[in-house]
Chains A and B, each alone.
Chain A
Amino acid sequence: MSSTVNPTIADSLKEYGRGIAGGLLFSLPLLYTQEMWDTGIIFTPERLALALGFITTLLLGYNRFSGLHKDASWIEVLIDSVEELGLGLLLAALLLWMIGAIHGDLSVLDIVGRTIVEGLMIAVGVSIGTAQLGIEEDASSDLQARDEALPGMLEQLTLGICGAFIVAMNVAPTEEIALIAAQVSPWHLLAIAIVALLLTAMVLFFSDFMRSQPYHQARSALLFVRTITMVYAEALCVAFALLWFFQRFAGQQAYAIISQTLVLSLPAALGAAAGRLLIR
């Protein structure tokens, strides 16, 4: 799983343990969510394949930029991503079977659908768990150097999308997003957008969040505006993509689509901002 030189079996087992713990930590609420099970049944094979492709890309991007593996070759990144995807699918199948969400009465496509929908989130969790939950005793100076440097644009984007996905995914499949969007006025939606922007600014610039020193030290108005705008744009894109993926826009007017996207943009923005710092 890691690119450590000559890892022992014990080291590997520890890494897999961290990965499994991370996978469950991030995805367990969704494993117990009826809407997620239904999604696996309703989706066509094409949509499931699209989800598989998106998560594989996300894993490749995250593994490329996370932790201390920035010197890793693309083949290492690819191998790690395949391992995590396989672990995610395997864990999802086992856990769904354990809680009775997949059983012999379902068709093969429905079993595969449920496993994919749940497994993809677990795979991202495995990746983050492996990269973030371990102790890097020998690399403290490297870690410090990394934390003091402002991440590159592509790295920020990748980590932001990953963070937004992890947080927004927990609520995107629920009916409540459409319910809230239908109930609130345009002023409420404006308030949601403003709070999302304020939260982003607070996390990255004003609250001494872990690993936020590069943003504090830059003290540039341009960086501030650019970062906040980029984070919120990412949040809107991730929110829109997730809602589209869960078919929340079917038969909806433009206003309803915008409202739902704005409602989901709040958790997505928080995830995109915190993701830049916490899952590096």
Chain B
Amino acid sequence: MTALATTVNVMHHAFRAGLADYRAIFTWKSWLAGWMVRVIAQVAFFALLGERIGDDQKTFYLLVGNSILVAALTGVFSLNMTTAERWAGTLPLLVASPSSPIIVFSARGSYLAVDGALSALAALFIAGPMFGMDLPWPRVVAVVPLTALVALASYCFGTFLAGIVFRFRSINSLVVLTTHVSLMAACGVNVPLSYYPDALEWFSRVLPVTNGLLAIRGVLDGADPATILGDAALEAVVAVGWMTLALASFNQLASRGRRDGSLDYGA
């Protein structure tokens, strides 16, 4: 088997293992009655604040931002994987195997990007009409790949963070939750980027969500295609950037754990 075929084989099995994990958490019924209800409630929670403010445009702004944020929140969950492996007792085995841990982790959690994109789109297409928002056809179709891009970029970001958590596993939950609220606060989800100080605005541009969300807002507002494509390209660059950082750091962090014996369950 060639190196490429071996890698693809490992990724295939890792993806199937990830799906099996997910099926252990959710059935179709609990996904719809639990997860989707929560997602739509989350979007409605923010959209209703817009209603209370008394501004339809603000309502739609909050609705779109918080719908797309769902893709990011789910994607970032990938950083839970290292801790899950540790609890299952499989982390040392994984690091000891000839495959690179990053290959396994990046494939194993990729279902999260799919789930994130689907959840975000469902939120937008269900909550939007509920609040009387116009989803301009056929332009709105472009929102689908853009949402997938946001989910992918967030997943890459989450995979990078998983490498950090690999070394500092005690802060796993803290990193997940602070990442969620930081993305919610800093990526133009609830207020325009211009509301932030300049430094924060620049910082938010290297985070997943920000550029993709601008592209999606552009699609819905009928912006110039060049502007939309520019923002989408920036989101893609951010995704590639975080995945490159993940590739560069993950194996080194794992090797350090192997050296100092901190990979096992009790560490």
- Please indicate whether A and B come from the same complex rather than being unrelated chains: no
